[in-house]
Each structure stands twice: as C-alpha cells, then as structure tokens.
C-alpha cells in the first residue's frame, strides 16, 4: 500500500479523517471532481445530500478500481458542498457511511470541506475530488 495515514501528536484526532497522509508510491493520480451521476449521467438523489455524497464516493471507488486502485490509495479528498452549514454534517456523514459500507473500506484520508455557492448544475449538491498514489 502506497499511503500511510497518521494523526501526529499535537493535532486533534478527527473520526472521519486523518491529519496527514504519507505517500510512497510511484504514480500520482488526480481524479476529477465526482458528482452524483450514475454511469449513464443521470443525477442520483436529487435534493438528497446523503444520497449524493454516497454516489460521489462510489464514483471515486469506481474510478480507482478502473486503474487498479482503491480508497486505501487516496492521499487527499476535497469535498465541495453547496450552501454548506454545519447542520448538514449528519447528512454528509450518513452518505460517507453508506458508501463505506458498499465499498467495504473506511475512507479516512486527509480531507478538506468547502462550502460553495453552486456546482455545475443546480441539482448537484456535492462534488468530491481525490488525489491517490499507486505503487
């Protein structure tokens, strides 16, 4: 495995991600921001943040599997949520948990959460991009 995730002493321990990832692989992979599209380009979970988060994570899993990787190879995630407010955190975490269960992994690489005014189309509530490292 090319990624080691750690929480260095002196930084807070967050349940859903680690503060640092150490990459030792030879291939740096950048995955385009994934929105809640299925394989046919149809939006999944219109109006449902948890369902859209789940689909974004599943799409990242699909992209990684397509190049011989998995969520264990992810060095960094960036999550963009339309009109973010802290009360949306339970829905975000629910979507991650549902995707985690389907993918059979616990995706906890360092992550950045950004509130944005809008995404590509009005029905998309979230977009997740990933950077991975493969051996």
For residue 107, pLDDT over 80 is answered with: no
Between CA 72 and CA 49 the distance in angstroms is 24
Could you tell me if residue 21 is left (phi over 0), alpha (psi between -120 and 50 degrees) or otherwise beta? Answer: beta
Q: What pLDDT band is residue 14 in, cutting at 50, 70 and 90?
A: confident
Percent of the chain with pLDDT over 70: 99
Mean pLDDT of the chain: 94
d(CA 104, CA 125): 24
CB 125 within 8 A of CB 43: no
The structure tokens listed for 31 are: 């995955």
pTM (whole model) above 0.85? yes
Please give the structure tokens belonging to residue 17. 């991600």
Helix (H) / strand (E) containing 115: strand 111-116
Tell me what the mean pLDDT of segment 63-70 comes to.
Answer: 94
């Amino acid at each position: 495995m090319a990624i080691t995730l750690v929480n260095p002493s002196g930084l807070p321990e967050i349940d859903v991600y680690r503060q640092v990832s150490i990459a030792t692989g030879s291939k740096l992979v950048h995955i385009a921001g994934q929105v809640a599209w299925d394989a046919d380009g149809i939006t999944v979970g219109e109006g449902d943040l948890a369902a859209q988060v789940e689909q974004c994570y599943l799409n990242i899993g699909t992209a990684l599997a397509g190049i011989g990787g998995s969520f264990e190879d992810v060095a960094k995630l960036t999550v963009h949520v339309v009109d973010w407010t802290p009360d949306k955190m339970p829905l975000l975490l629910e979507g991650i948990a549902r995707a985690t269960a389907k993918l059979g992994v616990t995706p906890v690489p360092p992550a950045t959460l950004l509130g944005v005014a809008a995404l590509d189309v009005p029905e998309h509530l979230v977009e997740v991009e990933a950077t991975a490292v493969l051996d």
